[in-house]
Amino acid sequence: MQITLETKPFAGLETDALVTYVFEESDPVQGRVADLDKLTGGLLARLAKSGELNGKSLETTLVHAPTGLKAARLLLLGAGKRDSFNPATLRKVAGTSLRFLKTRGVHNFAFALRENDLTQEAAQAATEGAIAADFESDKYKTDKKNDKFIEVLSLAGFTDADKAAGEMGIARGRVVADSQNFTRDLVNEPSNKLTPRVLAEKAEAMAKEAGLTVQILDEKKIADLKMGALLSVAQGSVEPPRVIVITYSPATTKPGAPVIGLVGKAVTFDTGGISIKPSEGMEKMKYDMAGGATMLGVMRALAALKPNVKVICVVPATENMPGGRAQKPGDIQTAMSGKTIEVLNTDAEGRLILADGIHYAKQLGATHLVDAATLTGAIVVALANINVGVFGSNQDWTDKLLASAKAAGEKMWPMPTDEEYREFIKGSVADIQNIGSGKGGGAITGAMFLKEFSGDTPWIHLDIAGTAWNDDAKPWLAKGPTGVALRTLVHLVTSF
């Protein structure tokens, strides 16, 4: 999909559809909507009067062959109350309009930004919403009907004065949303097509194309580094593990400058291992590499946005399988850090591989850590599919991330990591154990385990188990992988 910026007046736009959004207020026909009302001879005022045009969130009003316009259709989307309108709403409105029109065979449309939205931020949000909405999970369908696609989207309503800001917003929005879709593509791949080795190859190809430094650690190098926790999960599979290391370095760095470490869980399939999962719904566990895929997408975006801070990304990748060589409940493993772990449940494998990933990121020089992982079913119980769970060891660092989440329009909620919870993972025969002893707080227990390996380095853990996958399609997003947390992390790094 091509995205262009349009400065021509609305009346003369020759397009399959002209789209804008209206607010839910006593008179929704104001500003640009009033301009369109005049052009169409009072059509919008009539629709408002009849109650058909009311601005209610994501309601659609479609008019064919509107008089006074060259556009074949006029589409009005509800944007909800004006007070609560923000870039996150605009993203959804833009995405909803794209999906609405795409299913109706439209190939190009002009999305008119409202009078207060002729900014870089708004253009970026609309671009992101449209590109993310255009993503479909149909790669493996052989009977794809190729007649439903959007070829050109133009962001309309700009003037020469705000054109530069709009173009900048489109460019940045494209980088961010293409990277989000890169992540979603990886998450969609089934585990027979995306083994740890294949993920590493794809990561390497992306990094080389983007101009990032990349190193892939194979099973031998992983053993040399004594990553015993990662190896314990990998030993049950015939597919060897990999650790993907990608580095972004800014043009200049001062000695002692901060280095951000991004660590992502990439279990390309989680059967649970010997503590095997029930078969119902197990197919979804191909998404258990979403944290790793998110970090790879973030690096892809950073390569283009060129922030002024060094970033090291570490993605441990493995399968979690039962088998003759698989680790068994009660086994004791030694992590790279030297800590011993009693593995009481082989299905709590994400924390094992992240233990070594986090330690390694620190060893490579990270001064500020963020990990992302589909870590626990318990976070789904706590926050459902609405909020990402945020666990942190340092208030300033956590506050920065939460501010970025807000700016990026991603819902994230702070969770506790009080010292009292450490009791849950205290080991009886080893230093720590990989599950709690039946006291509830499963998502916190997972986080406390990871915290052990972050030491004194400011660290944040994002549990994306509930939010990385849409079980049902939304008007603005297809069913399947969401690419959650990518926008927040890109914002965090670029505003550092």
Active site residues: 277, 351
For 99, the token pair is: 């999906």
| Tokens (6 digits) for 22 | 């209206």
Closer of 134 and 349 to ligand BES (Cβ) = 349
Residue 198 makes CB contacts below 8 A (sequence gap 6+) with: 189
Closest CB to ligand BES among residues 61, 345 = 345
Q: Rule CB under 5 A: is residue 292 a binding residue for Zn ion? A: no
Please work out the total of residues on this chain that contact ligand BES, with binding judged by CB under 6 A: 16
Chosen residue from 297, 442, 458, 481 binding ligand BES by CB under 6 A: 442
- The nearer residue to Zn ion, 258 or 322, going by C-beta atoms, is 322
Q: Which residue is nearest to ligand BES (CB)?
A: 377
For the range 206-210, what are the long-range contacts, defined as Cβ-Cβ under 8 Å and sequence gap of 24 or more? 206/182, 206/296, 206/299, 206/300, 207/246, 207/299, 207/303, 210/299, 210/300, 210/303, 210/304
Q: Which range touches Zn ion (CB under 5 A), out of 56-64, 340-348, 425-433, 461-469?
A: 340-348
Q: Which of 117, 134, 185, 347 binds Zn ion (CB under 5 A)?
A: 347
The contacts of residue 266 (CB under 8 Å, 6+ apart) are 196, 199, 244, 288, 289, 291, 292, 293, 315, 316, 317, 318, 353
106 binds ligand BES (CB under 6 A): no
Q: Which is nearer to ligand BES, 181 or 445 (CB)?
A: 445
Member of 185, 270, 371, 410 binding Zn ion (CB under 5 A): 270
The answer to whether residues 118 and 165 touch, using CB atoms and an 8 Å cutoff, is yes
DSSP for 256-272 reads: T--EEEEEE-EEEEE--
* Minimum distance of Zn ion from residue 236's CB (angstroms): 12
Binding mask 33-72 for ligand BES (x = CB under 6 A): ----------------------------------------
Nearer to ligand BES, 111 or 391 (CB): 391
| Residue 288 lies near Zn ion (rule: CB under 5 A) | yes
Please report the DSSP string for 329-391 in residue order. Answer: TTEEEE-TTS-EEEES-TT--HHHHHHHHHHHHHHTT-SEEEEEE---THHHHHHTTT-EEEE
Minimum Å gap between C-beta 442 and ligand BES is: 6
Beta carbon nearer to ligand BES, 15 or 434 = 434
Q: Using CB under 5 A, pick the residue from 55, 350, 357, 392 that binds Zn ion.
A: 350
Residue of 6, 189, 270, 356 interacting with ligand BES (CB under 6 A): 270
Site mask for ligand BES (CB under 6 A), range 114-143, x = bound: ------------------------------
Taking CA atoms, 415 is separated from 44, 179, 265, in Å, by 47, 28, 19
Q: Report d(CA 137, CA 134) in Å as an integer.
A: 10
- Among candidate residues 177, 184, 162, the one with its CA nearest the CA of residue 408: 177
378 binds ligand BES (CB under 6 A): yes
Contact 448, 418 (CB under 8 A): no
Nearer to ligand BES, 136 or 331 (CB): 331
Applying CB under 5 A, the span of 40-48, 256-264, 289-297, 349-357 interacting with Zn ion comes to 349-357
The DSSP bridge pattern shows strands 242-248 and 259-264 to be: unpaired
Q: How many residues touch Zn ion (CB under 5 A)?
A: 6
Nearer to ligand BES, 191 or 374 (CB): 374
Say whether residue 35 binds Zn ion (CB under 5 A): no
Residue 442 touches which member of ligand BES, Zn ion, none, C-beta under 5-8 Å by kind: ligand BES
CA separation (Å) from 78 to 11, 471, 475?
Answer: 22, 25, 13
Check: CB of residue 320 under 8 Å from CB of residue 412: no
Checking phi first, is residue 315 left (phi over 0); if not, alpha (psi -120 to 50) or beta? Answer: beta
Site membership for Zn ion, residue 452 (CB under 5 A): no
Neighbours of 80 (CB within 10 A): 20
Q: What angle do CA 236, 345, 340 make, to 5 degrees?
A: 85
In the numeric block, which tokens belong to residue 130? 């449209």
Residue type, 213: T
Q: Which is nearer to ligand BES, 80 or 436 (CB)?
A: 436
- In the stretch 452-491, what mask flags binding to ligand BES with x, by CB under 6 A? -------------x--------------------------
Q: Which stretch binds ligand BES (CB under 6 A): 118-126, 375-383, 416-424, 452-460?
A: 375-383
Q: Which does 435 bind (CB under 5 to 8 A by kind): Zn ion, ligand BES, none?
A: ligand BES
Q: How many whole angstroms from its chain centre is CA 294?
A: 6
Radius of gyration of the chain (CA): 24
Q: Would you give the DSSP letter of residue 156?
A: E
Nearest approach in angstroms of CB 461 to ligand BES is 13
Window 344 to 373, contacts with ligand BES (CB under 6 A) = 345, 347-350
Binding site residues, ligand BES, CB under 6 A: 270, 288, 345, 347-350, 374-378, 380, 435, 442, 465
Q: Which residues are at the interface with Zn ion (CB under 5 A)? A: 267, 270, 288, 347, 349-350
